[in-house]
Chains A and B, each alone.
Chain A
Amino acid sequence: MTRQMSGAQMVVQALKDQGVDTVFGYPGGAMLPIYDEIFRQSDIRHILVRHEQGATHAAEGYARSTGKPGVVLVTSGPGATNAVTGLTDALMDSIPLIVLSGQVPTFMIGTDAFQEADTVGITRPCTKHNWLIKDTDKLAETIHFAFHVATSGRPGPVLIDIPKDVQFATGRYTPPKKVPRSHYQPQVKGDIDAITALVAAIEKAKKPVFYTGGGVINSGHGASQLLRELVAGTDFPITSTLMGLGAYPASGKNWLGMLGMHGTYEANLAMHDCDLMINVGARFDDRITGRLEDFSPKSKKAHIDIDASSINKVVHVEIPILGDVAHVLEDVLKIWKSRGRKTNTEALRGWWQQIDKWRAVNCLGFHNSDSVIKPQHAIQRLEALTRGMDRYVTTEVGQHQMWAAQFMGFEDPNRWMTSGGLGTMGYGLPASIGVQVAHPQSLVINVAGDASFLMNMQELGTAAQYDLPVKQFIMNNERLGMVRQWQQLLHGERYSHSWSEALPDFVKLADAFGGKGILCEHPDDLDDAINAMLAHDGPVILDCRVEKHENCFPMIPSGKPHNEMLLGDATTEGAIDTGGAVLV
């Protein structure tokens, strides 16, 4: 049975058939027919953001915290261009998004019509795939296919551009089951020979390390469970990228902490000195590898990834395994068990002794103060007062983000939302809104910097409108802190435009948006302030005034190998040479 309906009705029907319960969006002329249909139904909740960038990050937060794709509606022209940053962010971090954009009617495309933009052209490099629909009969089928593309293989954002006349016209609705099977079916099972080679390497390894990433989270809860089982069974140490935090619990005994530019001493040295590196769903990003020529020079490397183009892109690996993390880990475990659960326990004991020596360096140590709030201390208190709660954490981008990654412990996947690949300031507040929409009863905290917060602060209006009790924990150093740190270390302390001058009064700002504002200026008041933030049932800004010139350590300066890491007390002068200065 084929059903005839308008394109706008089809959009809503297709979203329902895909199980969508929430969309984030902002209307405009080219989207009015679809918004009319949104008005006439109540199955799908529409969250009106204050800026389309906010919609995309909210949808990312929703997606990352639920494992379901996030859906966004934007109008043509400026609505679509405002979505570009969020699309790029989602592409870099492999977050499934479906963005539906309005477009001028087909007969006006190419005439520089009012609010016309070449949306598919502009978004082609920042989506996994995109479509311009010219025929209403194709609309439903394309939406269903778009969900398939966004969520299968390496997830990512997709965009469907829908001209207004296509929304008005009547056509045939294709239900999801009737969509012809596409050739696009990424491989999920790994090659058994390669998996066996990995198991053989696991059995022999003297100094192994698991290096895990966002791919474990994207592969679903089962992947994290399998990873935990494998780590427990082999007793290998494990570290993770920023994107992978929570896949293995921070309280687990094999946990080394995060690795990379601001990762722990033990994680980075284990990576440098290991003889077997098992990369599970990470991508050898430059924040991780440091100087490539010196990256883990003595190790054999295995890489499990669902994206063939991530394998051997920058680092050559001996054991490439193309497939979905959960599927591959299941086979790894099966084969490892069937061969007698062997590891080189003798050598492992020595490896752990070495790791314990690195741990004893206490690389996250810092000089606390009685008179000013140290940012690390602030995060430690936030962690201590919220640990064990049903908690989700988002962040903005900068020093505060790295401190949150270092000092907060994540026990489960999907609990930590941050902009990793793109490093988008302004991500955290809207992301926290998306998370809170998906988890209305949970505690959602955005660890923010003062500068990042201002980039999408208008979304406080969204939080207020929908009674979303998101907690904005602003570590206010009145600086673009991370930029200031680099200028101090790399540019002769010439602090070019890294002040947050003319900052608003964040307490009044919260008030103006109908939230609660709390100011905290002294370490003695910190716990009370955090508890007051947690106690308030509504959006809160905690303006936490922290030390203005604190640097984030450990740090592997750009262009340096892992074993030339700067620790907190290190003299940092001249630590970064001019070669490193050209890198970001």
Chain B
Amino acid sequence: MSALVLKKGASRRSAYDLKNPLSDTIETHTLAVLVDNEAGVLARVIGLFSGRGYNIESLTVAEVDHLGHLSRITIVTTGTPQVIEQIKAQLARIVPVHDVHDLTVEGASVERELAMLKVAGTGEKRVEAMRLAGIFRAAVVDTTLESFVFEITGTPEKIDAFVDLMRPLGLSEIARTGVAAMSRGT
């Protein structure tokens, strides 16, 4: 299938779309939304999700083109295929939205998230935390005699796994950025 790029106002729905639109399977999709970086744009996007009862699993936003005043919002959402289509169409009609990419359907994509974990402990546990951090390629960005702050990047699953391992070793605080994602290739 060709890339599913929802250009503003353009239909990428074909009359010959073979996908069963009425399936109740819940799917997880990662959407990349390019928006004008103007006041209230994030509120519009979030308001759309809350107002229409859609789910947000993760949301990140940052300016990606300073001169062009463009920001990129990455949203991980869940729903039936019909709901996902509706979410994309609803996003696309927000005036400051330029385009909506469904990275999950567009083909291979890469996802990354950054997390910081504070792990407090001494003795055996401290050593074990440090050893596991090495395996996960987490970097130590701060240390005291009783604690580390680890920085880890990876897929959300990798971060989940690291968090689970740190829990019995004195994990006391977590900060996660949410997912940033991009399609592979050109």
B-binding residues in A (CB < 8 A): 120-121, 124-125, 128-130, 132, 149, 153-154, 183-187, 191, 193-194, 197, 307-309, 311-313, 316, 318-320, 322
Contact = CB atoms under 8 A, between A and B. Distances in A.
Among A125, A153, A318, chain B packs the most CB atoms within 10 A around the CB of A125
B11 A320 contact: yes
Nearest to A187: B9
29 contacts: A120-B40, A124-B43, A124-B47, A125-B47, A129-B95, A129-B96, A132-B39, A149-B95, A153-B9, A154-B93, A183-B8, A184-B95, A185-B9, A186-B9, A193-B14, A194-B14, A194-B15, A308-B9, A308-B93, A309-B86, A311-B11, A312-B13, A312-B21, A312-B86, A316-B22, A318-B15, A319-B15, A320-B11, A322-B13
A186 B8 contact: yes
Contact of B15 (A130, A132, A184, A193): A193
B85 interface: yes
Nearest to B7: A187
Contacts of B47: 124-125
Contacts of A185: 8-9
Contacts of B22: 316
B82 interface: yes
Interface residues of B, dominant DSSP: loop
A408 B39 CA distance: 47
Given A125-B51, A194-B15, A316-B82, 14 more contacts: A124-B44, A124-B47, A128-B95, A129-B95, A130-B40, A153-B9, A183-B98, A187-B9, A193-B14, A308-B6, A308-B9, A308-B89, A313-B89, A320-B13
B11 A307 contact: no
B93 A307 contact: yes
B10 interface: yes
B48 to A, nearest CB: 8
Interface string B159-184: 00000000000000000000000000
B11 to A, nearest CB: 4
Contacts of A313: 86, 89
Q: Would you list the 5 A-B pairs with minimal beta carbon distance, nearest first? A: A309-B89, A322-B11, A187-B9, A129-B95, A186-B9
A184 B10 CA distance: 11
B92 interface: yes
A312 B82 contact: yes
Among A187, A193, A309, A313, chain B packs the most CB atoms within 10 A around the CB of A309
A197 B15 CA distance: 8
Contacts of B43: 121, 124
B143 interface: no
Nearest to A323: B11
Among B21, B40, B92, B94, chain A packs the most CB atoms within 10 A around the CB of B40
Contacts of A187: 9-11
Contacts of B21: 312, 316
B122 interface: no
Contacts of B51: 125
A83 B14 CA distance: 40
A15 B179 CA distance: 45
Nearest to B12: A308
Contact of B92 (A193, A308, A316): A308
B58 interface: no
Contacts of B90: 309
Interface string B14-44: 1100000110000000000000000110011
Contacts of B6: 308
Contacts of A183: 8, 98
A567 B39 CA distance: 53
Contacts of A191: 11
Interface string B85-106: 1100110111110100000000
Contacts of A129: 94-96
Contacts of A319: 15
Contacts of A132: 39-40
Contacts of B82: 312, 316
A157 to B, nearest CB: 13
Contacts of B44: 124
A130 B38 CA distance: 11
Nearest to B44: A124
B24 to A, nearest CB: 13
A184 B40 contact: no
Contacts of A186: 8-9
Contacts of B94: 129
A128 B90 CA distance: 12
Contacts of B9: 153, 185-187, 308, 322
A196 to B, nearest CB: 9
B182 to A, nearest CB: 21
Among B21, B43, B95, chain A packs the most CB atoms within 10 A around the CB of B95
A191 B7 CA distance: 14
A373 to B, nearest CB: 44
B60 to A, nearest CB: 21
A383 B39 CA distance: 51
A2 B39 CA distance: 27
